Amino acid sequence: MVLRCFRWVTADAGSDGENGGDARPHPGGALTINGTSGTLNLGVGLTNTFTGTWTRTAGTLNGGSSTLNLSRAGAVTSGTGGTFTAGTGTVNYNYAAPQIIAAVAYNNLVFSGGGAKSIATGTSVTGNLSIAPTGSATASVVAGFNMAVGSLTLGGVTQIPGTWGSTTATSAANHNNTYFAATTGYVTVAGGATKLVFTALPGSPTAGTAFSVTVQSQDALGNPANLASATTITLSKATGGGTLSGTLTGSIGSGANSVTIATPVYSKSDTMTLTATASGGVTLTAVTSGNIVFSAGAASKLAFTTQPGGGTGGSAFSTQPAVALEDQYGNTVTGTPQDVTLAIWNNAGPGGTLSGAKTVAVNTSTGVATFSGLSIDKAGTGYTLTATGSTVDTSAGVVVSSAFNITVGAAAKLAFTTQPGGGTVSAAWSQQPVVAVEDAGGNTVTSSSASVTLTIKIGTPACGGPGTLSGTKTLGASSGVATFSGLSINAAGTGY
């Protein structure tokens, strides 16, 4: 670093301004820091004055906690390179004529002396902007620019938070033509902490897994604002169908402005929003987050999402079942292959048989295995089905459907329930046949009175005959059953 056109002394014994030591330049000089590694520290509690040009070429100027007086008319700085670190100090543009302000971030900024101090876009003040504590200086904010300041003092009097400018600055709520030049630019004065803001939210969280959020206290302008007393921050669910649990509170300490709450847990794979509220300290406006989209966790169980709807014997269920692959919280898991097999759990027939495609692959896009064409043959009340996965953990226990009933359907077929017993030529058989009217599942249709006619099957007997069937060959069913009597055949034969 090269310091030119002024005389300076180190503020602490043995330090060297060339190597980053504290320095107090005396009036009458200009400042140039050469080299990207050059650093000048303005020290602790000192007053440093430049009357020449501050050439911003390279290096770093650290404001420390000192006061820097810039006492040059017109453009105080040359160039836009280098770095200015405001620290906790004050920069005072104190020349008695107009000055052009360096567009940097200041801690405290003072306009004293006289003339308009021209403020360009990019200038900000985290601490206090003081206009004309002495002298007649004015602030001339470039047209259309809104400069954020932490607090505002006009003529030594502290002003209220809000927007300030001349009467030309129509966007400002507060006007003062003594301290502000006639431009449309204005300043916005922050107050203390007024609100909460989420500064960090989970990116791609998983249901059932802890996530973290960071909540910050800010002023009305959106600047971080430290709290005067410790304040409890509580998270709650604003929207979403799941349950929010885990650690839901944290504290922003006195003198701090943020807290990270590290272990909330949300149970559902859906879209959720969070609300953060403050209590027990500083009053702050609550904040609700944007949408946070949770995905399902690992597959761990099966669940009937559509229950079997029952039906009639031997016919497809009126409602076919669907089984989802789920995580521990009941969220449907997609993208995981799985075969699901159904079987009868409670056989209410008894003796019923489940027919149809009993094993179906889960659709990995939806996470659901959808069955079709399933039926049970025997009528019964209180059937249930069980679902088993090919690889999913079944430690949660057997997955059983809701109970459903199979009723007797429409007449669909005939069946001998008592076979003819044979006998001698032209004599009534020792065992007369009984024929039932049945539905598709083999259940007797007791409401049927259909006529049942018996004949000798063509091509029989295999040996002897042919004979003629005699007796009452046509009989109306009673309660779905036709019970024959007196039947005989007039010719001997084997295999009628």
Q: What is the pLDDT of residues 4-47, one digit of tens each?
A: 333 333 223 223 333 343 444 444 577 776 666 678 888 899 99
The type of residue at 222 is G
Chain centroid offset of residue 378 CA: 48
Report the predicted TM-score, pTM, of the whole model to 2 decimal places. Answer: 0.55
Which residues lie closer than 8 Å to 302 by C-beta, 6 or more apart?
323, 324, 325, 326, 340, 387, 388, 389, 392, 399
User: Residue 264: is its pLDDT beyond 50?
Assistant: yes
Residue with tokens 């859906």: 270
Pairing relationship of beta strands 174-175 and 186-189 according to DSSP bridges? unpaired
SS3 17: helix
The type of residue at 218 is Q
Interval 350-405: pLDDT, tens: 889 999 999 999 999 999 999 999 999 999 999 999 999 998 866 556 899 999 99
User: Residue 87: is its pLDDT beyond 90?
Assistant: no
Number of H helices, E strands in the chain: 0, 53
Question: Rounded mean pLDDT of 313-336?
Answer: 94
Distance, CA of 365 to CA of 70 (rounded, Å): 68
User: CA-CA-CA-CA torsion for 52, 56, 60, 65, nearest 10 degrees?
Assistant: 40
User: How far is the CA of 288 from the CAs of 217, 283, 485, in angstroms?
Assistant: 14, 16, 85
Distance, CA of 295 to CA of 462 (rounded, Å): 72
pLDDT for res 242 = 95
Q: Which residues pair with 105 in a beta bridge?
A: 124
User: Residue 63: is its pLDDT beyond 90?
Assistant: no
Least confident span in 126-140, 156-170, 382-396: 382-396
CB 166 within 8 A of CB 177: yes
Which residues lie closer than 8 Å to 6 by C-beta, 6 or more apart?
25, 26, 28, 29, 30, 31, 50, 52
Phi, psi of 185 (to 5 degrees): -75, 160
Interval 292-318: pLDDT, tens: 999 999 998 999 999 999 899 999 999
The encoded tokens of residue 36 equal 């990207």
User: How far is the CA of 202 from the CAs of 195, 213, 272, 323, 447, in angstroms?
Assistant: 21, 7, 11, 31, 65
Chain centroid offset of residue 332 CA: 16
CB 115 within 8 A of CB 97: yes
* Residue (of 142, 143, 162) closest to 152 by Cα position: 162
Question: Rounded mean pLDDT of 152-156?
Answer: 95
Contacts 24+ apart (CB under 8 A), 68-74: 68/42, 68/92, 69/94, 70/94, 70/95, 70/99, 71/27, 71/95, 71/113, 72/99, 73/97, 73/98, 73/99, 73/115, 74/98, 74/99, 74/100
